[in-house]
Amino acid sequence: MADDILISTCQCGKVRCQSVGRPIISGVCYCDDCQAGAAMLEALDGAARVTEPDGGTHYLTYRDDRFSCVEGADLLQACQISPDAPTRRMVASCCNTAMYLKFAKGHWTSAYAKRFSGDLPPVELRTQTQFRTSAMPMPDDTPSYRTFGPKLFWRLIKSHIAMIFR
């Protein structure tokens, strides 16, 4: 999968993003910001869902140098849950499709897994489960962390080093 390219598209097909290689992590987040952001995005007229049935948001997280918008970048609009929020959720304005989330201080982009087609990497972890509100049983297919968990931080550190030294 080192050279694999995955394509994500908006509902109408006018916006296309691509990711190259393996993601830093494939994870589901239940943090309060992701839940508030998902509620905001899913309330847009005609918007597609970004959340899983249990309320978590599945992201494929890539280094910034391995993720790009290849078509329709001019149609992307930033949405923030508050003016001082450190994250921007990028939405295809043509059809109100949430495409990805960008953390301002990070070297990574977290793309909504629901926007990709084809064989996706399996979920590797679930984070911020302390904020999970679903009554559904927690899936036991992967480690779950009340906070962000060491696996996520380790992968982010390794990816930053790799990005620096390419």
Domain boundaries, the chain: 5-165
Q: For position 1, what pLDDT does the model report?
A: 45
The rounded distance, in Å, linking the Cα atoms of 58 and 38 is 11
Alpha helix locations (H) across the chain? 32-42, 150-165
| Confidence bin at 108 (pLDDT 50/70/90) | very high
Q: pTM for the full model?
A: 0.93
Check whether 96 has a pLDDT greater than 70.
yes
Question: What are the pLDDT digits (tens) for 119-164?
Answer: 899 999 999 999 999 999 999 999 999 998 888 888 888 899 988 8
Structural fold of domain 5-165: glutathione-dependent formaldehyde- activating enzyme (gfa) (3.90.1590)
Helix, strand counts (H, E) of the chain: 2, 10
When the pLDDT of each residue in the chain is averaged and rounded to a whole number, the result is 94
| Confidence bin at 93 (pLDDT 50/70/90) | very high
Q: For position 67, what pLDDT does the model report?
A: 97
Q: For position 24, what pLDDT does the model report?
A: 95
Q: For position 3, what pLDDT does the model report?
A: 66
Quick check: 79 and 89 in contact, CB under 8 A? yes
